[in-house]
Amino acid sequence: MRAAILIAPPVAAFALVAGFQVAEAFGFQPLSAQPANVSEAAAMGAAAAALRFIADGSDPNVPRPIAPGVLGTLPRTVDAIDAAILGRRPEMITLLRQHGARVTDAARAQCLADAINFPDALPLLDLQPREASSSVEVDDAVDACLQTSKTSRL
């Protein structure tokens, strides 16, 4: 009985590792999240994946859905530059701009950078920091930026 107690943890660990190896052999990768599109790649900082999407014809200036869990608990639909801002990925902003991404809505980009307190993004976007203003408190400042830009384009 004592031998069974001592051997159970290593056997369980071996079974778990073997299960993951079998799953990966069949193409299932439960612990590696792969980006679904160029915006998710930008948010994750997955430069190679973003470049692969762009090389395959994906326009980084088109808003694409980002799954819950990538940029917080809520899903978002944003272009690649906005995703890089929200993911706090300055290197992705530079890379995306070198590969055709542009700031499609400067006011939204500025609002997003301000909402998450990410002023490092502004020079990379050719935007100037704004003077501190008396901002209205909202439950979700990012959502407020995205909603404002949607209504201003209608």
Amino acid at site 127 = L
Which pTM does this prediction carry?
A: 0.74
Answer for the pair 53, 37: CB distance below 8 angstroms, yes or no.
Answer: yes
pLDDT attached to residue 89: 96
- CA trace torsion 9, 11, 16, 17 (10° rounding): 110
Per-residue pLDDT of the chain (154 residues; tens, 9 = 90+): 787 788 888 888 888 888 878 877 776 666 667 899 999 999 999 999 999 999 999 999 999 999 988 988 889 999 999 999 999 999 999 999 999 999 999 999 999 999 999 999 999 999 988 765 545 455 588 999 988 765 444 4
pLDDT attached to residue 73: 87
Residues pairing with 78 in the sheet? 64
pLDDT attached to residue 134: 47
Q: What is the DSSP string of the chain?
A: -HHHHHHHHHHHHHHHHHHHHHHHHTT--TT-PPPSSHHHHHHHT-HHHHHHHHHTT--TTS-EEE-TTTSSSS-EEE-HHHHHHHTT-HHHHHHHHHTT---S-HHHHHHHHHHTT-TTHHHHTT-PPPPP--PPP-S-HHHHHHHHHHHHH-
pLDDT attached to residue 72: 86
